[in-house]
Amino acid sequence: MEDLTLLYYTSNKIDNTVATNVREHLLKINNNKYPIISVSQKPIDFGENICVGEIGVSSYNLYKQILIGAQNVKTKFIACCEDDALYTMEHFSFRPPDEKTFLYNINMWFAEDIQFWHKNETGMLTCICPTSYLIETLEARFKKFPSQIQGKDKEVYRYF
C-alpha cells in the first residue's frame, strides 16, 4: 500500500457537471494508486464517502470536513483535494521533509472567465502533510474554537 491518501472534500454546491468531471479526472490520473476518502455534505459515490450532512459553506466547515476525513485516513500522509481543482499525478509524488511540516505546491494556475493566471499563493487544495500532524493541528484549533465565530453579518475567518 502506498503511504498517501487523497482526501477529497466538497460542500456539494458547485455545478454537478463540473464536480463529476473533476472527480473523473482525479480517478483517471490516480488509476487506483492511492486510496480516496471523500467528505461531502450530500452522499456521493467517490472513494470511501463520509457524508457529514448539509452543515453549510464556510472556512470553519471546510476545515471540519478535512478533520473528519483525516481521522479516517490510514496512511502516513494526506493530499488535500478540493472539488473544483484539477491535479497532475506529479503533484502527489511529493512528501514533506519531516513529521511536522505542511507542504504546499505554489505552482497553481487559476481560471476565471476564460482567463488564466499564476500567482505564488496556495491553500489547503495543494497541501500534502503527515496525517497525524494534520489531525493534531486541527483538533487543537477546534478545541480552542468549538463553534464557528460569527461577526456582525458573516463568519469571521481570522480567528480560526
The pLDDT, as a whole number, for residue 160 is 37
> Residue by residue, what is the 3-state secondary structure of 62-86?
HHHHHHHHHCCCCCCEEEEEECCCC
Pure H helices in the chain = 16-30, 59-70, 131-144
Q: What is the pLDDT of residue 71?
A: 98
Enter the DSSP assignment of 56. -
How many of the other CB atoms lie within 10 Å of CB of 36?
19
What is the reported pLDDT for 147?
86
Quick one: pLDDT at residue 157?
Answer: 46
β-pairing, 103-104 with 127-130? antiparallel
The pLDDT value recorded for residue 107 is 81
Rounded distance between C-alpha atoms, residue 143 and residue 129, angstroms: 21
Per-residue pLDDT of the chain in tens (160 residues, 90 and over written 9): 589 999 999 999 999 999 999 999 999 999 999 999 999 999 999 999 999 999 999 999 999 999 999 999 999 999 999 999 999 999 999 999 999 999 998 887 766 666 665 566 778 999 999 999 999 999 999 999 888 877 655 554 444 3
- Closest by Cα among 2, 10, 72 to 32: 2
